Amino acid sequence: MTKVIALFNNKGGVGKTTLLYHLAWMLHEQRVRVLVVDLDPQANLTSAFLDDDTVEKLWSDTGRKTVYGAIAPLLEGEGGVVGAYVHEVEDGLGIVPGDLLLSKTEQELATAWPNAGDGNARAFRVLGAFSTVARRAAQATGAEIVLVDVGPNLGALNRSALLACDHVIVPLAPDLYSLQGLRNLGPTLRTWRQEWAARVQKAPSGFEAPPGSMQPAGYVVLQHGVRLDRVVGAYDRWLQRVPGEYRASVLGIALEESLPLAEDDPYCLGLVKHYHSLVPMAQEARRPVFLLRSMDGAIGAHQQAVLAAYGHFRALAQSVLAAVGASSLGGLST
């Protein structure tokens, strides 16, 4: 069964989209069929995968080949959700392109939420539109894992996007702001799950409701580059508070007497290093850091860093698959 996973934190600037991009490529490297769906109105994930000329063609007013184009007939009252265009990056790796026009859906989605509580049939179709897009596209491409990118907020668009998701992975940085993000995120996810479950009881007959489960699958710490002892100390200070905050805020469970260090926490899927000079090199080559080649400028010490990055992201992909109950996929167990 296809697993739909969102990477989400309402604290922006933690490297969420870059993480999703690299995770998608690594899963593909390990023979997992992957679909990415860009539901962030900034469309940064789309620009990571596709060059500007390609995106401009996809955003053409005539036959807009984006996630917005797939749901526009429903929102405009001219029909239902149409089959989403999937741009094949490589065999087994595709993307449903994002669109800046997604920001226009916020008000409609906000209105649909209370209307669904009253049993309004159209409101349910609107709220389930992103789920319909993701699951139809996954079925059409044979995707085993769907990765969903969303913006860093707790608005109506993200609420509807997360209704489509079985699991939520939280990327965060070891700082005060990410900890506060966890305090906002956890209670909000629980509220959305409960309110959606109540609404589904009033859904019209035959309506295929999105799962709305959005179960926490763990967190990934995106590490800052550190140079001075003072910075290292601050980094560790915040890092070691993450396990307790994740349990309390996201999982809603009582804290244990003795919490593990973040690097040993079973809920921590991985600690991703900052790859410094490899990052602009990878952006220029339009490929993940762990697939950089000598012709991209990855020579000498850079090549060693590329090999190390491959191992790090391979381990992260293995942790993600295990966390969502899909560890049998691909070649990660060999």
List the chain domain ranges.
3-277
| Residue 333 confidence (pLDDT) above 70 | no
| Residue 145 confidence (pLDDT) above 90 | yes
Position 174: which residue type? P
Question: Structure tokens of 235?
Answer: 């980094």
| Residue 229 confidence (pLDDT) above 70 | no
**Cα–Cα dist 287/182, whole Å:** 30
| Residue 66 confidence (pLDDT) above 80 | yes
| Residue 228 confidence (pLDDT) above 50 | no
pLDDT tens-digit series, residues 235-260 = 788 888 999 999 999 999 877 777 88
User: What's CA 159's distance to the chain center, in Å?
Assistant: 13
pLDDT at position 12: 78
Question: Structure tokens of 237?
Answer: 């200070």
Q: Comparing 253 with 98, which gets the higher pLDDT?
A: 98
CB atoms inside a 10 Å sphere around CB 118:
9
Q: For the purposes of burial, counting CB atoms within 10 Å of the CB of 107, is it exposed (0-12), middle (13-18) or buried (19 or more)?
A: exposed
Q: Which CATH architecture has domain 3-277?
A: 3-Layer(aba) Sandwich (3.40)
Q: State the pLDDT confidence band at 331, using cuts at 50, 70 and 90.
A: low
| Residue 25 confidence (pLDDT) above 60 | yes
Position 197: which residue type? A
**Cα–Cα dist 250/190, whole Å:** 8
Name the residue among 128, 116, 39 with its Cα closest to residue 80. 128
**Cα–Cα dist 175/179, whole Å:** 7
Please give the mean pLDDT across all residues of the chain. 90
| Residue 300 confidence (pLDDT) above 80 | no
Name the residue among 166, 43, 41 with its Cα closest to residue 95. 43
If you average pLDDT over residues 192-202, what whole number do you get? 94
Any idea which residue has 């993600």 for tokens? 320
pLDDT tens-digit series, residues 164-184 = 999 999 999 888 898 999 999
Any idea which residue has 């539901």 for tokens? 39
CB-based contacts of 222: which residues, under 8 Å, 6+ apart?
Answer: 14, 15, 19, 171, 172, 173, 272, 274
